[in-house]
Chain A
């Protein structure tokens, strides 16, 4: 299930503006990789190139290579819709479909992929909600609207929705930034469990969070506003937070800028 991501020479643009420049990195399967860096450094943009969501933004385009095992996501003839079914995503603000019940939210991705029997759907919904540590809280209200849950529950519902289609990779764009500390903790615990099955990439502004949940950490920075964001370094999380090889990383982590 989990696949390796291998990015080389990737540039992403908004119209003629180069937002991130020449990024290369490898993300190992069954690991958590955190992206940190100051606002505007392009870490979210980069994350969105990994499931071809960047090009959904008007003017957004990408060149370079993103290999998922041995398949180039930007290769000729690759359908972005198919890519997104393989690479799931969780957003900054919980965004369950407001018109759908808890059950339908989780089943939404499966229903896109084809016909399932009710019993199959029931199984997947329960498994995904259990996987997202939400089952016990919602099992009695599966038919209530998903938007009636608390913020933290909604975010776990979104995670359940994303893992229900059994993607190879799970991308998380600041998944806890709209949540309180207790919900944040629940999501962080969940990330620890999910990495047994998925390759996880998480963007975060919270350095403690990066230190807590990730195996590897990538630091992004930009020279100045209007300049493209770049990958400064990527290394084991422990090393990044104790003894980074680039001075800028240490400055950022120790709070001297950003």
Chain B
């Protein structure tokens, strides 16, 4: 009411008291407040695109310098000698190590996270659930360097038992053969990454499971479903796309994790048949360990490997979106 009556009394004054002026000023799309906000939000949106393009352009430019000088096959070579004459380097080892350690991490972390999230939302008494959720939040806040320290000083020395057991029972597969080397392998990295990505997957899954409409759960209950059947019929289908998104967030972190991997892995430029063999490397770990002492050419080569990691991450996210979109008409969103 008094907005309209006061309108003439408010001339657009100094920039200081801008907010009250906005409130009283003209109506419709030409309000200064609307325009400022529109400009800000549009600017932020465009900024993100520009930033993304700038990163891609930078990576591509520096990478192209290195790749054009490279005498070895960039994708299949096992060498990393960008400062040599001629320079020879390839990302095969890094791509293998990154993908394998991330897969191990996902295989361990996704089921455990979904289990924890279901326990918190559907099984645990409210207080216990809250406590667990709080502890998980704390885990998410631990810096990765601390995980790295813990991994190197505690996890590695304590994994020999597990390695021996895997070798005894699964050694015949070849993948779990152990030659009694130090457990600083891709497998250990996978376990550590699993622990690191567990909180984010758990937290996002928990939120999704909490949002399952009560009426979907009651539909299952009224049919005579047990608690597990309610989860299978209502909760998991509803939460499916959310769990996929959560997993992709976790995977993104696993793919790019740097310090913790560098501290735990005893890196080398070869691909081992067994996951338990010491050695291997990942993109991020390789960049972190080599960047400081790299020559100009070495840095460009590292940037080229970074570009590949960038592309892999984009592909993974695209794949996740495809999976989610394919099931869209069955999602809970239209119910």
Q: Which residues of A contact B15 (CB under 8 A)?
A: none
Say yes or no for A112: interface residue by CB 8 A criterion.
Answer: yes
Say yes or no for A75: interface residue by CB 8 A criterion.
Answer: no
Say yes or no for A145: interface residue by CB 8 A criterion.
Answer: yes
Say yes or no for B85: interface residue by CB 8 A criterion.
Answer: no
Say yes or no for A165: interface residue by CB 8 A criterion.
Answer: yes
Q: Which residue of B lies closest to A158 (CB)?
A: B219
Say yes or no for B218: interface residue by CB 8 A criterion.
Answer: yes
Say yes or no for B238: interface residue by CB 8 A criterion.
Answer: yes
- Distance A162 CA – B220 CA, assembled complex (angstroms): 10
Given A91-B215, A112-B229, A148-B329, A98-B222 contact (CB < 8 Å): no
Say yes or no for B331: interface residue by CB 8 A criterion.
Answer: yes
Say yes or no for A99: interface residue by CB 8 A criterion.
Answer: yes
Find B225's partner among A51, A81, A100, A145 (CB 8 Å cutoff): A81
Verify B222–A88 contact, CB threshold 8 A: yes
- Distance A185 CA – B330 CA, assembled complex (angstroms): 29
Verify A99–B240 contact, CB threshold 8 A: yes
Q: Is the interface of B mostly helix, strand, loop or mixed?
A: helix
Q: Which residues of B contact A136 (CB under 8 A)?
A: none
- Distance A81 CA – B227 CA, assembled complex (angstroms): 9
Given A98-B331, A147-B334, A53-B216 contact (CB < 8 Å): no
Classify chain A: how many residues form its interface, as a range: 20 to 34
A89-107 interface mask toward B, CB cutoff 8 Å, 1 = contact, 0 = none?
1010101111110000000
Of A83, A93, A99, A100, chain B has the most CB atoms within 10 Å of the CB of A99
Given A99-B240, A100-B237, A161-B330 contact (CB < 8 Å): no
Q: Which residues of A contact B229 (CB under 8 A)?
A: 112
Say yes or no for A38: interface residue by CB 8 A criterion.
Answer: no
Verify A91–B218 contact, CB threshold 8 A: yes
Q: Which residues of B contact A205 (CB under 8 A)?
A: none
Q: Which residues of B contact A83 (CB under 8 A)?
A: 224
Verify B218–A98 contact, CB threshold 8 A: no
Residues from 199 to 247 in B contacting A, C-beta threshold 8 Å: 213, 215-216, 218-226, 229, 233-234, 237-238, 240
Verify B334–A98 contact, CB threshold 8 A: yes
CB distance from B211 to the nearest CB of A (A): 13
Verify B223–A109 contact, CB threshold 8 A: yes
Verify A112–B223 contact, CB threshold 8 A: yes
Verify B330–A82 contact, CB threshold 8 A: no
Q: Which residues of A contact B223 (CB under 8 A)?
A: 84-85, 88, 108-109, 112, 161-162, 165
Q: Which residues of B contact A95 (CB under 8 A)?
A: 213, 215-216, 218-219, 335
Find B224's partner among A99, A109, A145, A147 (CB 8 Å cutoff): A109
Verify A99–B330 contact, CB threshold 8 A: yes
Say yes or no for B87: interface residue by CB 8 A criterion.
Answer: no
Q: Which residue of A lies closest to B229 (CB)?
A: A112
Find A56's partner among B221, B330, B331, B334 (CB 8 Å cutoff): B221
Q: Which residue of B lies closest to A82 (CB)?
A: B224
- Distance A84 CA – B230 CA, assembled complex (angstroms): 13
CB distance from B128 to the nearest CB of A (A): 15
Q: Which residues of A contact B164 (CB under 8 A)?
A: none
Residues from 160 to 212 in A contacting B, C-beta threshold 8 Å: 161-162, 165
Say yes or no for A113: interface residue by CB 8 A criterion.
Answer: yes
Say yes or no for B332: interface residue by CB 8 A criterion.
Answer: yes
- Distance A165 CA – B213 CA, assembled complex (angstroms): 24
Verify B330–A98 contact, CB threshold 8 A: yes
Find A89's partner among B222, B330, B334 (CB 8 Å cutoff): B222
Find A97's partner among B221, B233, B327 (CB 8 Å cutoff): B233
Verify A85–B332 contact, CB threshold 8 A: no
Of B220, B222, B332, chain A has the most CB atoms within 10 Å of the CB of B222
A73-89 interface mask toward B, CB cutoff 8 Å, 1 = contact, 0 = none?
00000000111111011
Residues of B that sit less than 8 Å from A by CB: 213, 215-216, 218-226, 229, 233-234, 237-238, 240, 327, 329-332, 334-335
Top 9 A-B residue pairs of the complex, sorted by shortest distance between their CB atoms: A85-B224, A99-B237, A98-B335, A89-B222, A84-B224, A95-B215, A109-B223, A95-B219, A147-B335
Residues of A that sit less than 8 Å from B by CB: 51, 53, 56, 81-86, 88-89, 91, 93, 95-100, 108-109, 112-113, 145, 147-148, 158, 161-162, 165
Q: A53-B221, A165-B223 are in contact. List 5 more A-B contacts (CB 8 A).
A: A51-B222, A97-B219, A98-B330, A100-B330, A113-B224
Q: Could you name 28 residue pairs across A and B whose Cβ atoms are closer than 8 Å? A: A53-B221, A84-B222, A84-B223, A91-B218, A91-B219, A91-B222, A95-B216, A95-B218, A95-B335, A97-B216, A97-B219, A97-B234, A98-B216, A98-B331, A98-B332, A98-B335, A99-B237, A99-B330, A108-B220, A108-B233, A109-B223, A109-B224, A112-B223, A112-B233, A145-B329, A145-B330, A158-B219, A162-B223
